[in-house]
Amino acid sequence: MVDVKDFVVIHERLNLDEFDELLQKISTGIFEIDGLRINFFNEPIPPLGIEDRHRGDSSWAKEWWNVEWPVDLYEWSKSHNLQNELANIFKEIDARIRCFDPPYQNVEEAMAYILNLPKYYFQENYCNDSRCSILLPNFIALENATLKGKKLEITVRIHKSLHPDDLLLSVICYGRKTKRFRENLKGGKTVTSGPFVHVFKSFELENVADVQLYLFSKQWEKYGQCDQRSARNLQLALNPRIASHEVFDEGSTKLFEFLGGKARRPPHNFEHAVTTLLHLCGLRTEWLGYAGILQEAPDILAFCSDPELVIVGECTAKVPDVNKYLTLKERAEKLQSRLRINTSAVMFSSIDVPADEQNEAYRYNVSLAGPEKLKKLHDMATRDKTTGEMLQILTGRLS
């Protein structure tokens, strides 16, 4: 995708004692060689994360790297056959940690559980190689996408060495039903500006709440999308609750901020956001946990008439413990015996919960609703899915 003839070789060969000096220069974000100033990063330096976070997504590239184009990640590795001291240390501790109370299989399992680390965190600890990563723009960007009523308008920006006819667009339309199609950009209006070309194209869509777009090049299609973007309908109101809410909270920005526990008074605002989300999903809700007035009550009750069900909810910004699950289970059972109506206990969390903790919840018949599930519920509400469909997600085993 990228012509490398203009690349500058910083070092063809590097002595071991020079490596630390080179890293120090790079870490400042600026490197100069033969009068050429190279900017590596904008401060603060963002960490390299999961490669899919960066590849083929201009929104991420802009947010993380302040780059106007989607980027491709290239990696090289070289085995150095050196002994990994960390692996030896862990090996010694592993044998002892299995005798702890409670026991753990190895160091990784103990640290992942205690620190709530993701599964992939330790997967490369025992590698005996050196790695180099470089991010390069691919010069094919899905610059803008706007969905208003029945009309989807997109703007694509490419380098003038590329041709619009070589581009393909995959579209997934979400509403009460999901539709999928693929289009080329032939016939789109083009405007040249310097070395770049803007391509404008529009499509007519029916009853669509939001779309997911993937831009491909025919030549490099086998490597995946060049860019992607999503767009919500700015005019069509499939769900009047969502539409009314977003008159005052555009794009549910504040709601998502509260659901992520990022606002002031996180526990209080998280409970309020969950109650609001359940209302947007078509449930009648009561926020019992407001200001801690009712000490023996759950945080939230949500009622559904079809199917007849009461959601008994607790909210947390921490990894729940057994006592929380047990208390929630008992409250749900108490309500079910009094009302003779089906109840479902749900623990709402503003953070991801480790897999082993999820299994602990299911032992007490408690469903977990973490960030991923809460986002999915909002998406389903936007698409005006039935309350029954959303309850299946809410009370399911996946968090």
- Cβ atoms of residues 298 and 328 within 8 Å: yes
Name all contacts of 234-239 with Cβ < 8 Å and 24+ positions apart: 234/146, 234/147, 234/148, 235/148, 235/149, 236/149, 236/150, 236/207, 236/208, 236/209, 238/175, 238/176, 238/207, 238/209, 238/382, 238/383, 238/384, 239/209, 239/280, 239/381, 239/382, 239/383, 239/384
| pLDDT for residue 34 | 58
Tens digits of residue pLDDT in 59-93: 888 877 777 888 877 666 666 555 556 666 777 77
- Rounded Cα distance between 323 and 334, Å, is 16
| pLDDT for residue 75 | 65
- Mean pLDDT within 142-161: 92
- Mean pLDDT within 192-215: 93
Q: What three-state secondary structure class fits 73?
A: strand
Write the Ramachandran bin of 20: left for phi over 0, alpha for psi from -120 to 50, otherwise beta: alpha
Max mean pLDDT among 180-184, 356-360, 393-397 falls in 180-184
Measured CA distances, 362 to 301, 341, 358 (Å): 20, 21, 6
* Lowest mean pLDDT segment, chosen from 22-31, 264-273, 342-351: 22-31
Q: CB neighbours of 364 closer than 8 A, spacing ≥ 6?
A: 322, 325, 326, 328, 329, 345
| pLDDT for residue 116 | 62
Question: Domains of the chain by range and CATH?
Answer: 1-45 (no CATH), 85-122 (no CATH), 140-232 (2.60.40.10), 240-394 (3.40.91.70)
Longest dimension (CA), the chain: 81
| pLDDT for residue 290 | 82
Tens digits of residue pLDDT in 348-363: 999 888 777 778 888 8
Asked whether the whole model's pTM tops 0.75, one would answer no
- For the four alpha carbons of 382, 385, 386 and 392, in that order, the dihedral sign comes to negative
Centre a 10 Å sphere on the Cβ of residue 297 and count the other Cβ atoms it contains: 15
pLDDT-derived band at 109 (thresholds 50, 70, 90) equals confident
Question: For the chain, what is the mean pLDDT?
Answer: 80
242 CB burial (10 A radius; 0-12, 13-18, 19+) = buried
At 240, give phi and psi (nearest 5°).
-65, -25
- Cβ atoms of residues 255 and 245 within 8 Å: yes
β partners of residue 313:
300, 346
- Mean pLDDT within 197-201: 95
Q: Within its chain, how far is the Cα of 187 from the centroid?
A: 34
- Rounded Cα distance between 381 and 246, Å, is 13
Tens digits of residue pLDDT in 278-305: 999 999 999 998 877 787 889 999 999 8
pLDDT exceeds cutoff 80 at 397: no
| pLDDT for residue 345 | 94
